[in-house]
Structure 1
Amino acid sequence: MSSLLEAQQLLIAGMSADPVLCLANTVAWLDPFWEVFADEDDYGEDGDTLSLALRIVRDSFPDIYVQVIEQLRSGSSWAEVERLVGGEIEKLGIPLENLEFMPYGIPMPAYGVTLEEPEFYQSHPDVIPVVQAFGIDPTAHPYQVEVPECAHIAGQHIAASLENHPDEGYRNLSWLMQWLFACSGNSTIDFDYETICEFQPLSWEQENIDFAAAIIHEADEIIGFALSGLKFLQTHPSVLTALRDNVRRIYKAISKLPKEKRHDNPRVRCVWPSVRSGVDRTALACA
């Protein structure tokens, strides 16, 4: 045996006999970045967002961090590591398109609607007949859609009136109104991208991660209900006709109010066709 190999064996034997060195060796193997990230308050100033993202994974997602280290040791590329992290975090309910976004906080989707923007109707042409019931005609204004001042009041009024309707179709119609007129109480549903960017993102702490995941899960459910409400309208023309009639009734009631009270909730009785019992009309009070 050469002297070099003998020295190696001697060092290995010495390290194995020393509990402190064994612990240090274990730390270095399991967490090779321990020294780089030793300072808890030092998140770097060199703009290396990928390193910052790795530190966040280490601090907030130890199980994922273990998988990252295993992949790096096996020679995986950074792109493969990025796909791993994004996929694992997405399983927790947080959409993550790119690790470079991680240092800015927990990314939140923005499903909110801006009724004045023509681009919305290009992406969702199927809602045009719905908003036309409120006097909003995207086809007539290709660059800037005009929205009546009382449209949101009417939409929110109808949403509230149908929220506890015994028929699931009408409850889903309520969710559709809540999405279109930003009154669901869920920020991901009610805010568009520009608005949500004005808020300080949540930091990657477990409590915030759970909170964000719950908001996103609820938002996904609301969108599902809203799309079901849209299909409900499409398959029940009489309900769409009733929607137009009720909006006109609400607009008329609002127009009779003094200007200083036109933002108040109008007392209107909306009328909807029954889609279950075969009765011609069913009246529902809108408080």
Structure 2
Amino acid sequence: MDGGAGSAADAQAQPVAQAPPPPLPQPQLSRYESQKRRDWNTFLQYLRNHRPPLTLARCSGAHVIEFLKYLDQFGKTKVHASGCAYYGQPSPPAPCPCPLRQAWGSLDALIGRLRAAYEESGHAPESNPFAARAVRIYLREVRDAQAKARGIPYEKKKRKRTQPPPPPPQQPGAGEASISSSAATVAAAEEELEEEEEEKTVVARRLLHPLPAPPLARREEEATLPLLLHRPPPPEYSRITLLQGSISICFYRGHAPQEIVRVTIESYLRDEDGDRCLL
């Protein structure tokens, strides 16, 4: 009895084994990711069934084109042959024996998904067979041929050009200040130009139309110095002698001498040293 009770107590003392946590639910893939995975698995299956067997490392653009032609047998798009009576008609009135093909839009989208799956699987973009130039040329030929056969032209989608942002609005004070400063600068420049033009005009008039010289009698009358006789002699001279004489004065107009006028000096002074001093 005691042994049975002890074993029961030991069993109760042992920790209960915890159950493993349930696995975390995998995130649900988007429709694009699911389709890309299915397309990638389909292409790998095609390589395994290829005769002779073909590996992904040896796959080229020619093998990709061969794969696209292989998919035509599963197509659902009617592509009229060149000899069909409904060639070039988008809506034929009656059925025809022309085969069904893969539409160009489906093939173009398929190549885009396989191209992304190839690089996501760890391969270099430079060796991507789905980005080969031969594949692009083949898709362009399929597009043009189906456009003529079905009478449905394929138009390229125009990309919307992003317009540059508008310039920030200027503050009213800054705009008025800049306008006033520019106006003041223009006004100052115009004033300088006007002053220069006036100076040039005056010089031109003086050169073309010189002022007439006054009569000789008037010049002599204006040039005489009768008032000098009434000036007192300088204080530093002790003895001054008043003498008579004349002097020649040369009148200049500009930098060229115009004429020499003989002016009569009524008197001049001689100091005690014999030097002459004009009154």
TM-score, normalised via structure 2 length: 0.19
Higher RCO (CA < 8 A, seq sep 6+)? 1
> How high is the TM-score relative to the length of structure 1?
0.19
Higher helix proportion (structure 1 or 2): 1
Bigger radius of gyration, 1 or 2?
A: 2
